[in-house]
């Protein structure tokens, strides 16, 4: 009986063509039986890879890979390329083998998307030389803010045992133009630089090299003390700089193309140069000097905020702007996109544009620490494009993204979150691409080119990040998350003894008058860190864009919004709108069922349902809590709360920074599961 059932199930699945899928193939799903004619007269690790990819997957006319040194190709830079139809052949051209690898992936992408490839004339040049993922992976296999299982890097097995996923990872990155990776958490263990670990890193670097991917490491500023047993890590101490020089030499003897260091210093308890009354520039330059002879760079993070009276949103600027021009030329200061911390919406960090004599790079967060972990759908390209609307792409040197990748079969914990890895790579290559174009590419390669699928899905994904903003923190609200895990709402959170700027009330400032943080000239004056015209716009409650209103202003509950409604009513409607969106996502997804294999269909349906339930939780928690200040009734067109505030205030998710909540832990249908230790 069971056998019969299995056989008919098998037949059903094969007839429909929708085989069960675990998502592990990402957007690289073409079948590898092409046996194409590919001509390439030279050989190298990277060229052989490009050739092998085409041979296996390209189903069109013969392809020839050619290195050029003419003006056109020189102008496209080391990793740029051309793709041209020439008679019966297609010629891929570049000054370097890396460019040819990217050209190969471009051609295969066109094929996968079902594009017209009859007559090609393509020129590409990446906007940045460094397009880098930051893994916040710890040596014990956990991932800080990672929601897709454990780390991909099996340190305990390396260097002897090599997982096949290392190469799959490199290939996926190369296919979207990512050319660099920081393997470990910025909260770095000094152990990372031990000889034992460097041997393991070497194995990964060797696997990534044919895919044109360079390895970088996060380093702990106190490493010379912990590993070298020195009595200080003072950057101006000559034993300290000698230690770093020797360590760098050791690294390059193992990994000749090592990329450099990423450093989180004097931030959230990490050691740094300020411990010795030295500046960030002095710390960064000491490391940069050690790396310089080998062509390595230092990416020095500007994510700092000390426990001072200053508005947290101002602090990175206050500490770093005066150091403008003081960094060596192989240092890039890495700045988060916004001034606080990867919130669903932030204005851009005012450091961009304020350090004219210092190379800067942006840090985006691909992992959804503050956007529902891997449970919620939030397609992030529109958020990153918003950053580029304010910060001209050519004013920064590089782009980094905190990875959302772990060892779960589908890499990202949610099949739809793969779109964010994809979009990060594509935007780092070309920030001018539209979010719509990128999601179309991703949908066609990952699911199907059928427009009955890609049309509604583009629409849903394009709306998804705004939906998260609406049901979590509309109108410029920020950081009202639950303590620690940053998943659910806790605008009321009080932790005795905690730093005030780690508590939601610091950010929302709700009181009987109104809501929001006054950063105008009457408040912290953070607006003054922006260029004059913007500062003026943000400073006035009348001209400040409403999406940032509560970021920059403490706004009376009855303040009249552009729609004519009061702030309170408008706030309620945003929460409601976000919730409605999540329900419509569930509905759209149901309609997509015929186009998707059962495994991915069910996995995504489950996640979307969690998101819709969580949106009720967010809406009720925030509105019921803020209502205790506004004392105003819910507008008639807004759904009544399902939960009671008192009960919501008791929800405590038993999760750490490393987990995503499971459905059983979450409030649903008006029921709050009992808290279990
Ligand atoms: O976003 C916050 C996170 C920390 C993180 C820190 C940082 C790696 O909550 O987990 O630490 O920022 O970016 O350094």
Residue 459, in any domain of the structure: no
Residue 415 shares a structural domain with residue 345:
yes
Which atom of ligand 1 lies nearest, measured to the CA of 136?
8
- Domain-ending residue, one of 124, 156, 173: 124
Residue 116 shares a structural domain with residue 240:
no
What is the average pLDDT score of the chain?
Answer: 95
Q: How far apart are CA 243 and CA 252, in angstroms?
A: 14
Which alpha helices (DSSP H) does 365-407 contain, by range?
381-390
For the cut 70, the answer to whether the pLDDT of residue 607 exceeds it is: yes
For the cut 80, the answer to whether the pLDDT of residue 528 exceeds it is: yes
Residue 241 shares a structural domain with residue 105:
no
Q: Which domain range does residue 66 map to?
A: 24-124
Contacts of 198 (CB under 8 A, 6+ apart): 250, 251, 254, 255
Side-chain half-sphere of 661: how many Cα atoms within 13 Å? 27
Residue tagged active-site, from 369, 386, 408, 490: 369
pLDDT, tens only, 614-658? 999 999 999 999 999 999 999 999 999 999 999 999 998 988 888
Q: Distance from the CA of 289 to the center of ligand 1, in angstroms?
A: 27
Question: Would you call 85 helix, strand, or coil by DSSP?
Answer: strand
For the cut 60, the answer to whether the pLDDT of residue 437 exceeds it is: yes
To the question of pTM greater than 0.85 for the whole model, the response is yes
Residue 144 shares a structural domain with residue 110:
no
For the cut 60, the answer to whether the pLDDT of residue 16 exceeds it is: no
Residue 601 shares a structural domain with residue 475:
yes
Residue 117 shares a structural domain with residue 136:
no
For the cut 80, the answer to whether the pLDDT of residue 3 exceeds it is: no
- Provide the pLDDT confidence category of residue 659 given band limits of 50, 70 and 90: confident
Strand 38-39 to 63-67 pairing: parallel
Residue 488 shares a structural domain with residue 404:
no
**Exposed, middle or buried, 326 (CB in 10 Å: 0-12/13-18/19+)?**
middle
Which neighbouring-strand residues pair with 402? 134, 365
Domains: count for the chain: 3
Q: How far apart are CA 459 and CA 651, in angstroms?
A: 34
Sign, Cα dihedral of 243, 249, 255, 260: positive
Residue 221 shares a structural domain with residue 333:
yes
Residue 533, in any domain of the structure: no
C-alpha separations of 438 from 234, 365, 444 in Å: 46, 18, 10
CB 316 within 8 A of CB 302: yes
Residue nearest to atom 2 of ligand 1 (CA): 341
- Domain-ending residue, one of 66, 93, 124: 124
Residue tagged active-site, from 39, 250, 268, 591: 268
Q: Distance from the CA of 186 to the center of ligand 1, in angstroms?
A: 8
Residue 238, in any domain of the structure: yes
Which neighbouring-strand residues pair with 84? 91, 121
Residue 6, in any domain of the structure: no
Residue 171 shares a structural domain with residue 299:
yes
Q: Which helix (H) or strand (E) holds 12?
A: helix 2-16
Q: Which of 143, 145, 186 to mutate to test the pocket of ligand 1 (most atoms within 8 A of CB)?
A: 145
> Mean of the pLDDT values across residues 408-437?
98
Residue 529, in any domain of the structure: no
Residue nearest to atom 3 of ligand 1 (CA): 145
Which of 57-66, 78-87, 329-338, 492-501 has the weakest average pLDDT? 492-501
Residue 595, in any domain of the structure: yes
For the cut 60, the answer to whether the pLDDT of residue 8 exceeds it is: no
Q: Which of 138, 306, 369 to mutate to test the pocket of ligand 1 (most atoms within 8 A of CB)?
A: 369
Indicate if 546 belongs to the active site. Answer: no
Residue 263, in any domain of the structure: yes
Q: How far apart are CA 251 and CA 92, in angstroms?
A: 35
Pick the more confident residue, 7 or 254.
254
Provide the token pair at 421: 């890895």
CATH number for the domain harbouring residue 36: 3.30.379.10
Which atom of ligand 1 lies nearest, measured to the CA of 186?
8
Q: How far apart are CA 32 and CA 49, in angstroms?
A: 14
C-alpha separations of 496 from 133, 277, 493, 508 in Å: 36, 31, 10, 18
Q: Which residues line ligand 1 (CB under 6 A)?
A: 136, 144-145, 186-187, 264, 268, 303, 341-342, 369
Q: Distance from the CA of 155 to the center of ligand 1, in angstroms?
A: 22
- Domain-ending residue, one of 411, 434, 457: 434
Closest CA to 421 of 406, 433, 436, 437: 406
**Exposed, middle or buried, 372 (CB in 10 Å: 0-12/13-18/19+)?**
buried
C-alpha separations of 231 from 188, 209, 227, 505 in Å: 19, 37, 11, 41
> Mean of the pLDDT values across residues 8-12?
47
Residue 296 shares a structural domain with residue 420:
yes
Residue 228 shares a structural domain with residue 359:
yes
Contacts of 526 (CB under 8 A, 6+ apart): 311, 313, 314, 339, 350, 519, 552
Residue tagged active-site, from 206, 341, 436, 450: 341
User: Of all residues in the chain, what percent carry a pLDDT higher than 90?
Assistant: 91
pLDDT, tens only, 232-242? 999 999 999 99
Pick the more confident residue, 677 or 336.
336
Q: How far apart are CA 388 and CA 375, in angstroms?
A: 27
Closest CA to 586 of 464, 418, 420, 417: 464
Provide the token pair at 569: 């009513």
Residue 265 shares a structural domain with residue 378:
yes
CATH number for the domain harbouring residue 493: 3.90.1330.10
């Amino acid at each position: 009986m069971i056998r019969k059932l299995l056989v008919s199930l098998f037949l059903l699945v094969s007839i429909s063509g929708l085989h069960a899928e675990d998502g592990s193939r990402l957007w690289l799903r073409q079948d590898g039986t092409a046996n194409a004619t590919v001509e390439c007269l030279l050989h190298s690790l990277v060229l052989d890879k490009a050739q092998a990819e085409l041979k296996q997957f390209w189903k069109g006319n013969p392809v020839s890979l050619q290195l050029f040194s003419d003006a056109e190709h020189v102008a496209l830079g080391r990793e740029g390329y051309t793709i041209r139809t020439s008679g019966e052949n297609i010629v891929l051209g570049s000054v370097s083998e890396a460019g040819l690898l990217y050209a190969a992936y471009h051609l295969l992408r066109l094929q996968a998307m079902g594009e017209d490839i009859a007559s090609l004339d393509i020129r590409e040049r990446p906007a940045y030389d460094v397009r880098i993922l930051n893994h916040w992976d710890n040596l014990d296999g956990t991932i800080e803010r990672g929601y897709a299982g454990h780390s991909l890097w099996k340190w305990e097995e390396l260097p002897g045992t090599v997982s096949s996923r290392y190469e799959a990872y490199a290939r996926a990155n190369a296919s979207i133009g990512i050319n660099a990776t920081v393997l470990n958490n910025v909260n770095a263990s000094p152990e990372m630089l031990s000889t034992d670990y460097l041997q393991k890193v070497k194995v990964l670097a060797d696997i990534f090299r044919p895919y044109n991917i360079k390895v970088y490491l996060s380093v702990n500023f106190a490493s010379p003390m912990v590993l070298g047993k020195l009595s200080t890590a003072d950057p101006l101490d000559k034993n300290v700089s000698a230690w770093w020089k020797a360590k760098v030499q050791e690294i390059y003897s193992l990994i000749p193309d090592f990329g450099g260091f990423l450093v989180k210093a004097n931030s959230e308890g990490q050691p740094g140069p300020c411990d010795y009354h030295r500046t960030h520039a002095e710390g960064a330059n000491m490391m940069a000097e050690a790396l310089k002879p080998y062509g390595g760079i230092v990416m020095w993070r500007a994510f700092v905020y000390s426990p001072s009276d200053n508005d947290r949103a101002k602090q990175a600027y206050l500490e770093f702007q005066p150091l403008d021009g003081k960094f060596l030329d192989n240092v890039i200061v890495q700045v988060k996109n916004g001034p606080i911390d990867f919130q669903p919406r932030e204005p851009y960090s005012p450091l961009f544009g304020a350090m004219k004599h210092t190379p800067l790079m942006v840090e985006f967060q691909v992992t959804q620490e503050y956007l529902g972990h891997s449970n919620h759908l939030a397609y992030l390209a529109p958020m990153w494009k918003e950053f580029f609307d304010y910060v001209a792409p050519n004013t920064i040197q590089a782009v980094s993204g905190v990875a959302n990748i772990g060892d779960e079969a589908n890499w990202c914990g949610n099949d739809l979150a793969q779109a964010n890895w994809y979009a990060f790579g594509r935007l780092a290559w070309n920030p001018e691409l539209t979010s719509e174009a990128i999601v179309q590419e991703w949908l066609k390669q990952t699911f199907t080119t059928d427009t009955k699928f890609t049309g509604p899905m583009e629409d849903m994904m394009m709306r998804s990040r705004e939906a998260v903003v609406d049901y979590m923190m509309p109108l410029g609200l920020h950081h009202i998350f639950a303590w620690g895990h940053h998943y659910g709402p806790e605008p009321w959170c009080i932790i005795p003894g905690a730093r005030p700027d780690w508590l939601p009330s610091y950010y929302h400032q709700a009181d009987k008058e109104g809501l929001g943080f006054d950063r105008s000239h009457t408040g912290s004056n953070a607006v003054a860190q922006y260029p004059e015209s913007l500062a003026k716009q943000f400073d006035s409650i009348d001209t400040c864009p409403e999406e940032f209103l509560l970021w920059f202003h403490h706004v009376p509950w009855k303040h009249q919004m552009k729609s004519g409604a009061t702030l309170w009513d408008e706030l309620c409607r945003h929460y409601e709108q976000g919730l409605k969106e999540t329900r419509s996502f569930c509905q759209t997804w149901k309609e997509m069922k015929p186009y998707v294999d059962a495994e991915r269909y069910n996995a995504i349906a489950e996640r979307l349902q969690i998101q819709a339930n969580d949106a009720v939780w967010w809406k009720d928690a925030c509105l019921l809590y803020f209502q205790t200040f506004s004392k105003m009734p819910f507008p008639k067109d807004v759904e009544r709360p399902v939960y009671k505030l008192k009960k919501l205030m008791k929800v405590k998710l038993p999760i750490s920074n490393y987990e995503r909540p499971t459905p059983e832990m979450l409030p649903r249908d008006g029921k709050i599961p009992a808290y279990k230790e």
